[in-house]
A and B are shown apart, each in its own frame.
Chain A
Amino acid sequence: MFEFYVGLVALCLSLLTMAYISILAIQFSLIKHKNTERAYDYHRLQTVIILFFHLVAYTVLLYHYGFEYKVIMIYLGQIGLILLSGHIVNHYMNKTILPLWSIGQFLLVISFILLGRLSINLGLKQFYLACLAYLVVFGVVYLYSRLNFIKYLGVPSVILAILMLVMTNETINGATNWMRIGSFTFQPSEIVKILYIVFLASTLTQFHEHEKLSLFVTGTITLGMVIIQVYQRDLGSALIFYSVFILMSYVYTRNRLYIIGGTIMTMLGGFFAYRFFWHVRVRIDTWIDPFSDIDHTGYQITQSLFAIGNGGLFGRGLTLGLPNRIPVVTTDFIYSAIVEELGLVIGLGIIIVIVYFFLFGMQMIEKSRNDFNFLMGSGILIIIAVQSFLIIGGVTKAIPLTGVTLPFVSYGGSSLVSTFIMLGILQGIKMNEDRHLKKEILRKNEKLIEQMLLDEENCEA
């Protein structure tokens, strides 16, 4: 009986996901045709779908945990967070990039459900971390929209970034990319990503007259950071920085040679790394044939594929799979757990939603008149897309596995906070631009009135 209900829930969740994506598609075309107000009318419906999704899934979890008091409180808390954050966004954020906030919320709810299912304590912690992330993000939005000197902070941020990278002192899952202060650990690379984007956008806009020189300087520093990360065996972050730099230099110079050169460099670098770093070679060999060493190097990816293969169209059903047997399931491999229990439809849904995040973000960034904001926004969108691609592709054996987190979904404070900061910066960019636009219009109007007054005086005279 319970299994039948879970099956129904799985079907229902898949349908809700499809409905949610349809709304995104409608919104996208409406905004494209400059019908922004109508697009935003759908926002309420989106929130209703998200809440319904959350509710349906939590009925299963409630039953699974025997209607424990704690689970009920977590559920109510999460609803509170969804409603409150939605309210703040709606009323204090100039109704600007609502689809982006909604996508963040949708992915966060999937994260709440999956982590709550894996372990209720993880669900609770992720909830606290999400509260923290929202607090931080509203601060970021406020600051970014008002402070105009961020574009001069390139040098301090890169110094801070390198310091944070070098000061990592904790090895978790083979990579030395954690920092421990007392009992508190976090992943500096998550924050370093943002500092790096600030540095890149700032340097490239400040020195746009010396295009080649500024690219040379930023390129050298990027290379240094990539080497540090390869050394720390954080190949995922290294790849992110590398590809972000290539793509950003293309955005900046509009010269296709950078993409071509970057691709050639990737091949050479990959070949070099394959030859000389055994841990790179192991990853690539494992990617090509994980089943030949299923006990050892191939263990993670094959366990992930078993879970994915077990999913089917609508999943095994929430709580009916064995996602706890997937290694590192709460962070890197959370996507495999989603496909196993919630199914292919939701798995593909997540991919589509992430693509929409990029599309909506670009719709907004395109209109930016400030080059620094433009580069910041592009960088953030590229980072989120590349990072999602690396981890989803990695756990599904489309590309060699590199351990990075899935934005908005993976467990962990560093990841969640940094993803939300990026979302906040996108919102901040929009508000910052709007303020400048408003000022300009005001100034124009003032000038017009002055002119009129002058004309009147002349007339009288």
Chain B
Amino acid sequence: MNLRKRLEERNKPLKRIRTLIVIMFFILGLNIIYYVVFQSDNLVVNDYNPRLKAIESSVIRGDIVDRNGHILATSKIQDHQQMRMYPYESLFSHVIGYMGYGKTGIEAYSYLDLIRTKENLWDKFMKGFTNDLPIGHTVVTTLDLELQQLGRTLLGNNKGAIVAIEPNTGRILAMISTPDFDPNMISNNYSTYLKDEASATLLNRGTQGLYPPGSTFKILTALAYLQNREADNFIYECLGKDTFGGKTIHCYNSAVHGEVTLEEAFSLSCNTSFAHIGEQLDIDQLHRLVEMFGYNQKIELELETSNSRYGIKDHMSASERAETVIGQGKTLVTPLSNAIMVSILANDGHLIRPYLVSQVVATDESIVREHKSVDAGRVISKEHVDLIESFMKKTSEEGTAKQLNNSQYTVASKTGSAENATGVAHAWYVGYAPIEEPKIALAIVIENVGTGSTHAVPIAKALLEAYLIEK
């Protein structure tokens, strides 16, 4: 009896340690269950996982849809092989991209989400017995099928790009680049595209095409000017051409604008006036402003982007200066970058980051991930935006974009005719509407066709009408 009591007393601590060990191993088990059952889908689908190939073939890749649920890319099983299909063929070739022959566009960006699945325990259990493959998440984009279709039709056989952004959210509504290609047939035609360097079919001109900005750059020049001076004090006598540091600057078609205010110089896109502004401008200030608007910076987007280039150093000759401020010279811009510029103006000076993927949705319709608009802060003061806005309004009413003048909505515009090595100018249009509550910001470029007024403005008109009136 005595012995038993002594042993019991002695064993007490060990019994407590036993409890501790049982609890700790229990937690260990829960942790493993957590990883295997609940975290598996998120965890395993990772670029660093050597099992990715195997996982990929055990899942039916999810769909990519536009903002209204139209299917832009889907997968089907054919002869035990997964096929990726693009119902709209070439319409979204650059932005959705393709897969099978490498991956590009959203297909590359959302690659992991498209093969992630959400299965409950029962599904997982049944997976062992049936041949049904689970379906990956659906990726919902911000794109608008109808706008994209219209834009594509309007570009026709021209080379060029259209980027449309919803300014207050940053949603990219349309991104068109021509010439385009059919991603369903990419493996047949890939080498042909690669050889034809002149067409650069595979290049997404919207994000990677670098064009001289032409007169669309005058928005930035005017903003830089306004930072130090009053708009009212400006007056200039345009004679159709003038010489700056030995370089003769012409107005387009050598048009003579006569005596102009800043507003008139802007809306008529008078080159000599702006070259004159350039002489008075603090060039460092312009440099800073231009970088605030995203030049020389990486634009964060779901797709590959090129940096818009503004490569002027402090000591600039008078001729270089004159060329730069009217958007010629060494400056190069992407249509996306220009679209962002006007959507900053539409947002009263705030940069709202553009994006393409708004949601990732599981097959049970639960939202896996959602993109929220990011306000990256103020770029320019509201006061200056208002002034430029009034100039841009005037442009749409009486200036180079007067075709847009209408009674239903107001438009802020700037056109451009960017001279380049080929001789025929690239036609530019940038703008947003309606001014009171902007719903869409546009950047349009058409290569080697002539002036923005004649070639880009009609496209803008059709797009704005379709987007603003019919809705």
User: A interface vs B, CB < 8 Å?
Assistant: 7, 10-11, 247, 250-251, 254, 291, 294-295, 302-303, 305-314, 321-322, 325, 339, 344, 347-348, 351-352, 354-355, 358-359, 362, 365-367, 369, 371, 374, 378, 382, 385, 389, 392-393, 396-398
Name 6 interchain pairs, CB-CB below 8 A, sorted by A: A306-B43, A307-B51, A310-B40, A322-B50, A344-B37, A348-B33
Measured between beta carbons, the chain B residues less than 8 angstroms from A322 are 50-51, 54
- Chain B interface, DSSP helix/strand/loop, else mixed: helix
Measured between beta carbons, the chain B residues less than 8 angstroms from A355 are 21-22, 25
Residue of A nearest to B47 (CB): A294
Measured between beta carbons, the chain A residues less than 8 angstroms from B10 are 254, 371, 374
- Interface contacts beyond A310-B44, A313-B128, A344-B37: sample of 11 additional A-B pairs, CB < 8 Å, sorted by A: A294-B46, A295-B48, A303-B48, A305-B35, A306-B51, A310-B40, A339-B36, A347-B36, A348-B32, A351-B28, A362-B15
Measured between beta carbons, the chain A residues less than 8 angstroms from B7 are 366-367, 369
Q: Is the CB of B31 within 8 A of A313?
A: no
Q: Is the CB of A325 within 8 A of B22?
A: no
Smallest CB–CB gap between B3 and chain A, Å? 7
Partner of A312, one of B36, B48, B50, B54: B36
Q: Is the CB of B35 within 8 A of A250?
A: no
Measured between beta carbons, the chain B residues less than 8 angstroms from A11 are 128
Q: Is the CB of B50 within 8 A of A309?
A: no
Determine the distance from Cα of A341 to Cα of B15 in the docked complex, in whole angstroms: 35
Determine the distance from Cα of A11 to Cα of B297 in the docked complex, in whole angstroms: 55
Report the count of interface residues on B (CB-CB < 8 A): 41
Measured between beta carbons, the chain A residues less than 8 angstroms from B21 are 355, 358, 385, 389
Q: Is the CB of A310 within 8 A of B32?
A: no
Measured between beta carbons, the chain B residues less than 8 angstroms from A398 are 27-28, 31-32
Cβ-based interface call for B12 (8 A): yes
Partner of B44, one of A309, A352, A369: A309
Cβ-based interface call for B13 (8 A): yes
Cβ-based interface call for B18 (8 A): yes
Determine the distance from Cα of A355 to Cα of B19 in the docked complex, in whole angstroms: 11
Known: A306-B44, A309-B43, A374-B10. A359 touches B54 (CB 8 A): no
Measured between beta carbons, the chain B residues less than 8 angstroms from A385 are 21, 25
Q: Is the CB of A369 within 8 A of B3?
A: yes
Measured between beta carbons, the chain A residues less than 8 angstroms from B27 are 398
Determine the distance from Cα of A354 to Cα of B54 in the docked complex, in whole angstroms: 33
Q: Is the CB of A312 within 8 A of B40?
A: yes
Partner of A311, one of B13, B24, B36: B36
Known: A302-B46, A305-B35. A396 touches B51 (CB 8 A): no
Cβ-based interface call for B1 (8 A): no
Q: Is the CB of B14 within 8 A of A366?
A: yes
Determine the distance from Cα of A283 to Cα of B454 in the docked complex, in whole angstroms: 65
Partner of A306, one of B9, B18, B49: B49
Q: Is the CB of A325 within 8 A of B50?
A: yes
Q: Is the CB of A354 within 8 A of B25?
A: yes
Residue of B nearest to A258 (CB): B13
Measured between beta carbons, the chain B residues less than 8 angstroms from A312 are 36, 40, 124, 127
Residue of B nearest to A355 (CB): B25
Measured between beta carbons, the chain B residues less than 8 angstroms from A313 are 36-37, 121, 124-125, 128
Determine the distance from Cα of A250 to Cα of B12 in the docked complex, in whole angstroms: 10
Measured between beta carbons, the chain B residues less than 8 angstroms from A10 are 128
Smallest CB–CB gap between B416 and chain A, Å? 44
Q: Is the CB of A314 within 8 A of B128?
A: yes
